[in-house]
Chain A
Amino acid sequence: MTSNGQPMAVGLSGVHKNFGSVQAVRGIDLDIAPGEIVAFLGPNGAGKTSTIDIILGLSRPTAGEVSVFGMQPRQAIARGLISAVMQTGGLLKDLTVAETAQYTASLFVHSRPVQEVLSRAGISGIADRKVGKCSGGEQQRLRFAMALLPDPELLVLDEPTTGMDVEGRRGFWAAIRQDTAEGRTVLFATHYLEEADAYADRIILVRHGQIVADGTAAEIKAMAAGRTVRATLPGADEAALRGIPGADSVEVRGDTVLVHSGDSDAVARYLLTTTPARDLEITTRGIEDAFIALTSDDATTSNAGGTR
């Protein structure tokens, strides 16, 4: 429940999902309040789509609980409370754009007018075109239009801009932006960091089926602030390095040490004056690197989960 007694838009607790021996989701706890715009950010295979399928009721968690506005996903879908734009497929080539929308609209008790959602999605000009003759971007806009039909409280987008060029991506997000100004809850999965940064209030980083960081875009960015000092230091004393004032992560790879800090000068001074470190290098870690550091396989976990 939210503070004012409304049910959470999405509530996941202890969700696991196994496919045979593969653990796609390994214990996700997540609450999304109504009105939040949340990005699910992670590399391919992190478990984003598996988690989304569970939220949409397309698959059943191996363990754990899932609720959407306090009900089972299927109930929420039948009431038009939740709708989704999936990555690919899901369209019939032999229907026109307008027919596809009419088909979908007829299934809901309350539906926005077909013409209105087509123009919202910027495809009213191609209403009579066969879906099979539409470009990938146009088909994606049609999926978006279909998702808007029930006027859902929660809109789920699974990597919605995959395969679009920069222009198409910008147009797509502009349409989403315009529509979510009305207080709709949005959850989108992406592996484009800029997308998460530009459109989400809250970013959830997932890796190996677990949440590794959860915070505002600013908080996630703060994790990426500061600089990394790299030096050659045989036989480094990791514990001592961690003791450097301002050092927030330390990594030792053979003879190389990497120290991340908001005060790289202090770290450099320490390394050069109290240790035999040489070949010193100071680099800025961009948000891209932060993302990679947080989600890649070989990163140490010392800097993950910083804002949880």
Chain B
Amino acid sequence: MSTSAGIQDLTARQAPGLGGFNLTVLRLEVRRLLRNRRTLLFATIAPAFFFLIFGLNAAYASEPAGHGNVSAFVMISMALYGAVLATTSGGALVSIERAAGWSRQLRLTPLSAPAYIAIKVLTALVLGLASVVVVYAVGALTGKPSMPGYLWIATGLSVWVGSLLFAAFGLFMGYLLPTENVMQILGFVLILFAFAGGLFIPLSQYPHVLQTLAMYTPLYGLNELTHAPLLGVGVDVAWVANVLVWLVIFAGGAMWRFRKDTARV
């Protein structure tokens, strides 16, 4: 207790390790995210619903696609869409926290800026995982998607890890856009990215010019990479380059806005 501010008392006080990062905070952040029904709905129910519409169509669902069928292909696409929506939402929550003054409040605690970002990214990944699991579970229940067991794991994992790119996107936008409605804007942007990346309609069905343009959009590389194990094709360096360049842009942008936001003026 603080009966006297003796020198011993002062030096006995320690700053936390890991910049204040801890599991209690992570647990509470995940709980917050799960409480947000709208985010949950858009990140899990919506992509599962899209799978039911596009992934079960008798006209093509059972057609072969690499080591599996088209239904499995569509399931991966929808899981990717859900996961990036989830991680974007998770990252973009900083917008609300800034508006509420919570970010400022946290600066009156030992929590360091990198630890805060790590918590946001991990929380976003938890929601991203939920999204992948729900879409794959719905897929499995319908019995329509077909691919070897190891590919369920491999594609699911690559979708989940890949969605990290959009946690950075969400953070960048969360710091850039000072609005509580940031997800309404981003939801629309993500649909555009998804169309451009070939998640909803195969790029081969687009005119040539659009196909070329699509290769430069942020979901293109991830979409190709996450489907590669199913299709049994080699990894194209252009896909990796696409992901890396966008990662640099999103993470760099988030870092830049974050520095600006927390600068002591």
Contact = CB atoms under 8 A, between A and B. Distances in A.
Nearest to B16: A109
B20 interface: yes
Contact of B24 (A93, A106, A146): A106
Interface in A80-105: 80-81, 83-84, 86, 88-95, 99, 102-105
A107 to B, nearest CB: 4
Contacts of B28: 95, 99, 102-103
B16 A103 contact: no
A69 B2 contact: no
B14 A109 contact: yes
Contact of A92 (B3, B5, B16, B100): B100
Contact of A59 (B7, B13, B265): B265
Interface in B12-64: 13-16, 20, 22, 24-25, 28, 31-32, 35-36
A75 B105 CA distance: 16
A226 interface: no
B10 A7 contact: yes
Interface string A1-28: 0000111010000000001000000000
Interface in A95-126: 95, 99, 102-110
Given A78-B16, A84-B108, A99-B28, A91 B100 contact: yes
Contacts of B97: 92
Contacts of B36: 94
B22 A106 contact: yes
A94 B109 CA distance: 20
Interface string B98-116: 0011101111111100000
Interface in A43-97: 56-60, 69-70, 75, 77-81, 83-84, 86, 88-95
A81 B15 CA distance: 10
Contacts of A160: none
A298 interface: no
Interface string A193-217: 0000000000000000000000000
Nearest to A6: B7
Interface residues of B, number: 36
A151 interface: yes
A57 B108 CA distance: 8
Given A6-B7, A89-B104, A107 B2 contact: no
B157 to A, nearest CB: 30
Contacts of A109: 13-16, 110
Contacts of B16: 78, 107-109
A109 B9 CA distance: 14
A184 interface: yes
B149 interface: no
Nearest to B32: A94
Q: Of B4, B28, B108, which is in contact with the most chain A CB atoms at under 10 Å from its CB?
A: B108
Contact of B2 (A92, A108, A146, A182): A182
A183 B14 contact: no
B1 interface: yes
Contacts of B104: 58, 86, 89-90
B27 to A, nearest CB: 9
B5 A183 contact: yes
A57 B264 contact: yes
8 contacts: A59-B264, A79-B13, A79-B110, A107-B16, A108-B20, A110-B14, A183-B4, A183-B5
Interface of A: 5-7, 9, 19, 34-35, 56-60, 69-70, 75, 77-81, 83-84, 86, 88-95, 99, 102-110, 146, 151-153, 182-185
Interface of B: 1-7, 9-10, 13-16, 20, 22, 24-25, 28, 31-32, 35-36, 97, 100-102, 104-111, 264-265
Q: Which 4 A-B pairs have the closest CB atoms?
A: A89-B101, A90-B105, A78-B15, A106-B24
